Structure 1
Amino acid sequence: MSSQPYRNALVTGASSGIGAAIVRRLREAGLEVHAVARDEKRLAQLAEETGCILHAVSVADQKGIEALINGIEVDVLINNAGQSRTGNITKTTPEDIDALVDVNLRAVLQLTALV
């Protein structure tokens, strides 16, 4: 039995690295965790290991995220998803910039507003 007041968490970028570690820790603390990432295979492995609830959706998919949030209660939001580009900044395309803004800014603001 958990001694904390929170019951449900949503973690983005949950399929690996820091996101997966956060999912593990929150599950150990007794929270129901909704793990969000694009990589369904890694999410399935994490769900098998931790018992989290997987959601294979990109945070850049605004309608998909809205549908997800409308179906769950969220006490704790961890905006962990992020994207970067390597290489020379002078060769960055408008599409690269849009992708970075969609994941690193727009998705964070959208999720925070929805929760």
Structure 2
Amino acid sequence: MTDESQNRAALVTGASTGIGEATVRALRAQGWTVFAVARRADRLAALQDATGAIAVPADITADDDVSRLVAHVTAAGGIDTLINIAGGARGADRIADAGTEDWEWMYQVNVVGTMKLTRAFLPMLRATGEGTVLNLTSTAGLVAYEGGGGYNAAKFAQHAMTGALRLEEAEHNVRVIEVAPGLVYTEEFALNRLGDEAAAAKVYQGVEKPLTADDVADVVRYAVSAPHHVNLDQIVIRPVAQAANHKLIRKG
């Protein structure tokens, strides 16, 4: 890393909570200009007050919101880095019991939203001469597991899209990075997925040190702050207790 980060500008989605919020804080602490994007305006306003980030409420799956977002960022000086963190899981049903609405929501947020924002900002990133796109995927996009079919499908698609984007944009000197976390403890992920606090707590039960949002945000910050010719194509990050998707050490 160098002091060049003082002149860098990024847009971070999913910024109202969890890894997205932590990433905004990490980049601002390093001197970046950061546009913080999410749907919840009240949480973004609090983040703006705390960090000096530029809050821009928007739904990344809505075309009008994406167009408005591009116009806002352009008027404010533009970005050289796009960090797609918005996403999530809904439900843990086996495919025989799959909820269509859950699957459609996961595909829209994780895949289509990422595509729409990336497509919209690629001209700006290309024009900088040294643009970067970082997509936060998941180890669920690398290895399937029972009860994860819908989330697996969405994250496998996002993983594949990231690989294709890297091939397509290399000629434009746009760096494309994938960060794939394993078990991360955040206040909302498991709760939103399972809809029940007790069920969400069981996801982390007995795991002494799951990853935190700050852990992942620090990896994201490092990856986008490395000299531009250094492309950390794919970073898999897990807690030591999670040796693989199917092996998680629980104590007690």
Instruction: State whether TM-score is above 0.5.
Output: yes
The 5-angstrom pairing of residues 68-107 of structure 1 reads 68-72=69-73, 73-89=78-94, 90-107=96-113
TM (norm. structure 1) is 0.87
One-letter code of the match for 1:17? G
Equivalenced residue count is 114
Q: SS in structure 2 opposite 1:71? A: helix
Shift of 1:48: 0.6
Note if contact 2:16-2:43 (Cα within 8 Å) is conserved in structure 1. Answer: yes
Note if contact 1:62-1:107 (Cα within 8 Å) is conserved in structure 2. Answer: no
Match of 1:63 in 2: 64
Match of 2:114 in 1: 108
Shift of 1:96: 2.5
Does residue 27 (structure 1) correspond to residue 28 (structure 2)? The answer is: yes
> Which structure is richer in relative contact order (CA contacts within 8 A, separation 6 or more)?
1
Where does structure 1 lack aligned partners over 5 or more consecutive residues?
Answer: none
Shift of 1:38: 1.2
Q: Percent identity?
A: 38
Question: Cα RMSD (Å) of the superposition?
Answer: 1.8
Aligned mates of 1:63, 1:93 — CA distance in 2: 28
Aligned mates of 2:101, 2:93 — CA distance in 1: 15
Aligned mates of 1:88, 1:55 — CA distance in 2: 34
Shift of 1:15: 0.9
Where does structure 2 lack aligned partners over 5 or more consecutive residues?
Answer: 122-252
Kindly name which structure, 1 or 2, has the bigger radius of gyration based on alpha carbons. Answer: 2
Q: SS in structure 1 opposite 2:101? A: helix
Q: SS in structure 1 opposite 2:65? A: helix
Match of 1:4 in 2: 4
Q: SS in structure 2 opposite 1:111? A: helix
Shift of 1:85: 0.7
TM (norm. structure 2) is 0.42
Q: Quick one: structure 1 residues 49 and 105, their matched pair in 2 at CA, closer, same or farther if it must change by over 3 Å?
A: same
